[in-house]
Amino acid sequence: MTIFGLPIQEIIGYIAGICTAICFLPQTIQTIKTQKVAGLSLLSYVIYATGIFSWIVYGAYLNSLQMMIFNTPAFVFALIIIGEIIYNRYCKKENK
């Protein structure tokens, strides 16, 4: 079965990739705006970023541009949140 000339499994892959790529965008924007990180787990984001980075490397190994493209934004958003957590929990206190 095809839709718009693409096999259905490709379309499902694109939908999954888009959702994965943007799932942390709202959290990233909110964290940057509010600077509130009290409820965020640094360990969870480090584990998540490690997993996403592994998907990017795996995609490179498989020559899967789709896998690399869709995981890169998620990795960047996770790094931004990790940076915000570290800055707001540890660096801000030292500057006061």
Structural domains present in the chain: 2-95 (1.20.1280.290)
Residue 93 has a pLDDT of 66
DSSP 91: I
For residue 6, the Cα-to-chain-centroid distance in whole angstroms is 26
Residue with tokens 């693409």: 6
Cα distances (angstroms) measured from residue 89 to each of 23, 35, 86: 24, 10, 5
Run means of pLDDT, 10 residues per run, the chain, 96 residues: 83 88 92 93 96 96 92 95 94 68
User: What interhelical angle do 65-86 and 25-34 show, nearest 10?
Assistant: 20
Q: Which residues contact 77 (CB under 8 A, 6 or more apart)?
A: 24, 25, 27, 28
DSSP 36: -
Structure-token pair, residue 49: 């970023």
